[in-house]
Amino acid sequence: MTTQVTQLFNHIWQQYLEVTPSADKVHQLLDSGNDVINDHVAYRTFNIEKVNLEKLAAHLIKLGYKECGEYHFEAKKLYAKHFEHADSTQPKVFISELLVEEFSPEVQAIIHKLVDQLPTEAVTADNFLYSGKQWDVSFEDYKTLLAESEYAAWMAAWGYRANHFTVSINHLENHETIESVNEAVKAGGFALNSVGGEIKGDKAVKLEQSSTMADKAPVAFSDKTVEIPSCFYEFAKRYPLANGELYTGFVAASADKIFESTNAAA
């Protein structure tokens, strides 16, 4: 089962690099010999039954993942859960879903129009988590979504793929602190998400996170091809709980700011 999990994330990583070439460069910059371990991988979806969070999670649960926490993001109108594997060297997975019914009728109609195009069997296919965008969307509709929800627009353009991978700072040989990682990444010429400060969270909440700003890559909309923000790379340092074990959950206030790494204007 561990081999299957590794294979799944290899596919997801390769698909992610196609539109996030900077992640490969940052990976090499931090690596001192196979010490770059993924803390977590993040997914986005819509809460429409056909493609909701549980449909994505099913692909992980059959490989031994278990649900471990839930999160609410009221301003962004999102709900999320995180999943962990018994083999702690496998990445945690954070899946959020957009609460579609809380948006305008116009936005809801566009989102339903996209999801309706997706073949039902695509959702249960082995490659669903790296299947990309299997619907047509116009640039006009993308912009209508963008005006109400950056998240909805990103989903419409990119579909099913990792939104980000995350380097576990705890496992790095050459970096003890998130400050040290951030400096190395910036010195390498990569921009960090500075919404709410470069470092989200602190020792008190047991988790510090930072992230690059998303790369840009071309998307073939139904009417034209446009370069828009794709995916980003995150860095996480975890602190031990009273029992000595590292905290494995997420901090909603920090994740709320990390979501903004795919905003068009930093």
Q: What is the closest distance, in whole angstroms, from the C-beta atom of residue 220 to Ni ion in the complex?
A: 27
Q: Answer left, alpha or beta for residue 188, where phi above 0 means left and psi between -120 and 50 means alpha.
A: alpha
CB 132 within 8 A of CB 93: no
Q: What is the closest distance, in whole angstroms, from the C-beta atom of residue 173 to Ni ion in the complex?
A: 22
C-alpha closest to that of 230 among 241, 214, 250, 254: 214
Q: Show contacts with Ni ion in window 211-240 (CB under 5 A).
A: 234
Question: By rule CB under 5 A, what string of x and - marks binding of each residue 41-80 to Ni ion?
Answer: -x--------------------------------------
For residue 83 the two structure tokens come to 């999943």
Stretch that binds Ni ion, among 40-48, 95-103, 114-122, 221-229 (CB under 5 A): 40-48
DSSP 206: T
Q: Which is nearer to Ni ion, 42 or 51 (CB)?
A: 42
Question: By rule CB under 5 A, what string of x and - marks binding of each residue 161-200 to Ni ion?
Answer: ----------------------------------------
Distance (Å) of CA 228 to CA 37, 125, 146, 191, 205: 28, 28, 11, 16, 33
Q: Which is nearer to Ni ion, 15 or 168 (CB)?
A: 168
**Residues near Ni ion, by CB under 5 A:** 42, 234
